[in-house]
Copies of this chain bind each other. A is one copy, B any other.
Amino acid sequence: MRIGELARRTGVPVPTIKYYTREGMLPAGERTGPNQVHYAESHIRRLKLIRALTEVGGLSIAAAGEVLAGIDAPGSTVHGMLGTAQSAVSRVAAERGTDETWERADREVGELVRRHGWTVRPENPGWQTLVQVVVAYHELGRSELLGLLDGYADAAGTLAAAELAAFDGVPSIDAKIEGAVLGTVLGDAAMAGLRRIAQEDVSRRPEAQPHPG
């Protein structure tokens, strides 16, 4: 198909398609004549993947480009790709504090990880995110919210195992790798959406209303 039809079928404007091609995120079409470039069905799917990562998953163009390069690289592994996808979706952590509150929060995260029997590098992007959250709880004098973290951790462990089992049924390694990326990027969006819904439901219940007087 020509670029106009590709744009129509995907809803992605022509200049955006050209931009993705220049950035190396979308393979160029096949030149079939002096003014004619042919695009295949695989271009449609690739554009949908780019849109899923950026519009639904909220990745920047640079982060999406990095993830797509990882998907395309020969010899990628599920474990390696997961690391790339995780770094891409994780916010850049603020400079690590060195004061007592940070050290305490780092220790508390370490204890949480041990309690749940997890094996993980301290450079895991999630570790620093979590330390930042714990520091914020302490600094705001809301240390009681720490009590929520074991519940979050149980849920995270259950979901990670379910995600892994879901990729496992997929035959090809390429599809497994893409599944790991979608599980990470779209799974975050799905979980955030479901939390909004469950929170609204819970806050409507009579026991959530403040007592009069």
Pair A196/B129 contact, Cβ less than 8 Å: yes
> Given A55-B132, A56-B132, A149-B190, A199–B163 Cβ distance below 8 Å?
yes
How often does this chain occur in the complex, in copies?
2
Which B-chain residue is minimally distant from A189 (CB atoms)? B133
Extra A-B contacts (20), CB below 8 Å, given A129-B193, A156-B198: A79-B203, A79-B209, A82-B203, A90-B196, A116-B198, A118-B197, A118-B200, A124-B200, A126-B196, A144-B166, A145-B182, A145-B186, A148-B159, A148-B163, A148-B190, A152-B187, A156-B191, A157-B198, A184-B195, A188-B195
Residues of A within 8 A of B (CB): 45, 48-49, 51-52, 55-56, 58, 77-79, 82-83, 86, 89-91, 94, 113, 116, 118-121, 124-130, 132-133, 135-137, 139-142, 144-145, 147-149, 151-153, 155-164, 166, 168-170, 173, 176, 178-180, 182-184, 186-204, 207-210
- A selection of 13 A-B contacts at a CB cut-off of 8 Å is A49-B140, A51-B136, A83-B200, A116-B198, A118-B197, A124-B197, A124-B200, A130-B193, A130-B197, A160-B199, A176-B210, A188-B195, A191-B195
